[in-house]
Structure 1
């Protein structure tokens, strides 16, 4: 029997503040009718505070569809990322950090990602220890993604694979940002993992001034769903919906 395509609503960089109580309820209630699954690709909170996570958690109670996501750099700001994850998990959000989850006959693998640059301009493991640590972080995040996708493929070989990231896996979806910022917006190491594992589609955020759509070198579609970018593109909503 041919599988029925599912509607994935995707957003990122929602930066929920402690004063945002009630603001997201209408959007999430609308998503119950417009999507089968919601993914949120990082920067769930504005300053990495647990009160902000609680506000988001209350809003998530309006949803009757699965919610899957990853943390972003803002969620690490105060070192309370574990508390944020716990709060949102209690509100039935699945947060991935080198793991995978299955919802609606689709496999989702995710990790935050990291910087490092793109293509021939990727930073290399050379020089001072601090620079090497920066590059190692980028490589480790890509390995986490690759391992999660591998496990997903081995355990659910027939399911389409969707990758969730905060940092960008390709250069094309950060175009529009100052080029000086590219090394801090994503890494081609992440894109290599997408290509190796033949992902159906990938979503990320972080690059507020970037470009909505791009493709990896293997033509895997990649969407930058950062909320400020979607607003600037006048898409009319806080999210986009893609069928998989």
Structure 2
């Protein structure tokens, strides 16, 4: 069932693939019956027009509830964002965004998207597409094709019962992991900077930030420092989910 649903969503969100299927279908349905090239041409253009309208304007409306029902919940994190040469109706450059989706069971997927109007659930809920680096968001995605995902703007009552206890457990894990990372960072900090002067400490910190010619201890310190910052940001976001009006409302 998952394969079928994923394939249908994938096709529906790519009208040009449906057009390839529609043209021979129109031939067999109309031309074989009428034998008229003009009828065939009219039928093909009608099929293409219908497909483009449905896919371009209604794909988000129709596919978002399906992805919400069959998809897997993940916490998204924007890892990179850059402006493109394409403009919106308000002359604002669209952004090309790369993000990481982390499911509550630990599964991690990479996705890409633009900040144009995207699939959002609930369908007509006001929602600002996240573009800033280190931004978090909630999404549901198809495990077999993570590029088919929907932003979650608000939890339904069913979502609250299902996911809020898991989010609370995830927050507890984050706090415990952050504590362990803090301890290791402090140990490395003492080892790397304990005997250095203020000037030497500043120089070494600049070297670590630049990530050039680092030894093993410096690489470990940089990686753990970045992980600590990430865990801190994720902790704040999970707390907002737990206590925010649109999600768990605890």
TM-score, normalized by the shorter chain, greater than 0.5: no
Under a length normalisation based on structure 1, what TM-score does the superposition of the two structures give?
0.26
Considering Cα pairs closer than 8 Å and 6+ residues apart, tell me whether 1 or 2 has the greater RCO.
Answer: 1
The structure with more radius of gyration: 2
Under a length normalisation based on structure 2, what TM-score does the superposition of the two structures give?
0.25
Relative to its length, the structure with more helix (as a share) is 2
